[in-house]
Amino acid sequence: DAGVIQSPRHEVTEMGQEVTLRCKPISGHNSLFWYRQTMMRGLELLIYFNNNVPIDDSGMPEDRFSAKMPNASFSTLKIQPSEPRDSAVYFCASSLGGSNEKLFFGSGTQLSVL
């Protein structure tokens, strides 16, 4: 298995633009997680899905952030409109079971909002 696949690897955009990050979890995994990593705040859980259903989105910072999982093999995290303070590395992770199981992380998307 290729592991968790994220795209793009790097994204540079201007303030106010829409940004869409993509994730393909490991085949057969039932749970998918979006994390954000910054120097100041460390690793923060934004949202997680179980069987394509959002279970906990309490970490989503604002209404500008939205996430979808239309099927078991694909998820998106969208920021609209983007702001400079959204600059971070965004990781997607998946696991076989629930949210406290072994997580497998993608390589991340480095987002820079100018």
Partner 1 sequence: GEDVEQSLFLSVREGDSSVINCTYTDSSSTYLYWYKQEPGAGLQLLTYIFSNMDMKQDQRLTVLLNKKDKHLSLRIADTQTGDSAIYFCAVPIQGGKLIFGQGTELSVKP
34 binds partner 1 (CB under 8 A): no
Q: How far is CA 62 from the centre of its chain?
A: 14
76 binds partner 1 (CB under 8 A): no
In the set 13, 22, 72, 105, which binds partner 1 (CB under 8 A)? 105
Size of the site for partner 1 (CB under 8 A): 17
Here the tokens at position 49 are: 């899905």
CB distance 34 to 55 below 8 Å: no
The strand order across the sheet containing 19-24 reads 5-7, 19-24, 74-79, 65-71
Least Cβ distance, residue 68 to partner 1 (angstroms): 21
Q: Which helix (H) or strand (E) holds 75?
A: strand 74-79
4 binds partner 1 (CB under 8 A): yes
Q: Would you tell me which residues interact with partner 1 (CB under 8 A)? A: 4, 42-43, 45, 56, 91, 93, 98-100, 102-108
